[in-house]
Amino acid sequence: MFLISENLGVHRKGAVNLSFPDLRIDRNDNVLLLGPSGSGKTTLLSVLAGLLPPTTGTVRVGGDDFYALSAAARDHVRGRQFGFVFQTLHLLPSLTLSQNIMLAADMAGRAPEAGRLDHLLDTLGLVDKAHRKPDALSQGEQQRAAIARAVLLRPQIIIADEPTSALDDDNARVVMDLLQDQAGEAGAALLVATHDNRITERFDTVLTLENQMKEDAA
C-alpha cells in the first residue's frame, strides 16, 4: 500500500472539528472522494499531501509515518511522489508553458527522465505552445499543461482537487480521460476530490464525505 490514512481528524480554532474516513490507496488505484463543499475535501487532501499535520490519526506514505518526518523531508517526498492538479490549474503567469511543466522537476530537485517533457508536449498537443505564457493559452491548453506538470516525474499518486466542476460535460470527459490515461501511463494512483456526480461511474472506489459544516453553511 502506498498511502494509508487512519483515524484522521483536524481540529482548528474557530472551525468545526473535521474527521475523515480511513483510506488505503495503492498504485494504479482510482479513488474518488465525493462530498459537497464544506465536507473538508481540500483539508483532507492537504493532510494526505503532508501540508497540514492532522490533530488525530496517522498518514503512512510508502510505509513510513509521514508526519514523523521533518517538514523539509515531507516537502521532498511530496515533490517526488505526488502530482497535483488544481481546479484553477494554476500555472505561474510569469513562466512559459514548458517552464511551468518543468517547475515540478525544479521544485522536487529531480530531473525528469530524458525526453519526458517532449513526449508529454507531443502527446498532449502542446508542442507549438511550449514557449507561450499561460495568458496566451486556451483553457483546454492550460488544463493539459497542468496535467503534464502533475505527471512529469511519474509520481506514485496524482491528487486532483475539483478538476471538472467548472467544466461542461464534454470538457469534463476530456479532462478525466486525460487524467486517467496519464495516471495509467505513469503507473500512478489517482485520487480525485469533487462534488461533481458526473464522474462517479469512472471510479472503482468512491468514498463519500458528509457535510461537516452544516451549521456554518448557511
Partner 1 sequence: MNAFTLAIASLRSRPMHSALCTAAVAAGIALLCAVFLLSQSVAAGFARNAQGIDVVVGTKGSPLQLVLSSVYHADIPAGNIPMHAYEEFEHHPHIRQAIPLALGDNFKGFRMVGTTPDYLDVYDAAFESGQVFSSLFDVVAGADTGLKIGEKIAVTHGFLASGDDVHDDHLYTVTGVLKPSGTVLDKLLVTQVESVQRLHAGHHHEHDSDDHDGEEEGHDGHDHDDHDHAQHTDDHHQHDHDDHDDHEDHHVHDDEDAAHDAMHQITSVLLQLRSPADVMRLPRQINEDSHLQAAVPSYEMARFTKSLGIGRQLVVALGAGFVLLAGVMLWATLSSGLALRRYDLAVLRVLGATPRRLAATVLAEAFLIAGFGAVMGVVCGHLVAYGTVLSIDSLQGIVLPHAVLQPQIMDAGFILIGLLAGLLASLAPSLTAARTDIAALLAKGRV
How far from the centroid of its chain's Cα atoms is residue 82's Cα?
7
Dist CA 102 CA 151 (whole Å): 11
Pairing of strands 56-61, 3-10: antiparallel
In the window 169-198, what residues touch partner 1 (CB under 8 A)?
Answer: none
Give the contact letters, 1-20, x = binds to partner 1 (CB under 8 A), - = no: --------------------
Closer to partner 1 at the Cβ: 108 or 126? 108
Among 55, 58, 87, 180, binds partner 1 (CB under 8 A): 87
Asked if 104 touches partner 1 (CB under 8 A), the answer is yes
Angle formed by the axes of helices 97-108 and 71-81, to 10°?
130
Q: What span, in angstroms and rounded, lies between the C-alpha atoms of 59 and 15?
A: 22
149 sits near partner 1 (criterion: CB under 8 A): yes
Q: Does 78 bind partner 1 (CB under 8 A)?
A: yes
Does position 203 interact with partner 1 (CB under 8 A)? The reply is: no
Question: 16 and 190 in contact (C-beta within 8 Å)?
Answer: no
Q: Give the separation between CA 187 and CA 172, rounded to whole angstroms.
A: 22
Q: Residues interacting with partner 1, by CB under 8 A?
A: 42-43, 45-47, 49, 51-52, 71-72, 75-76, 78-80, 82, 84, 86-88, 90, 92-95, 99, 102-104, 106-109, 149, 161
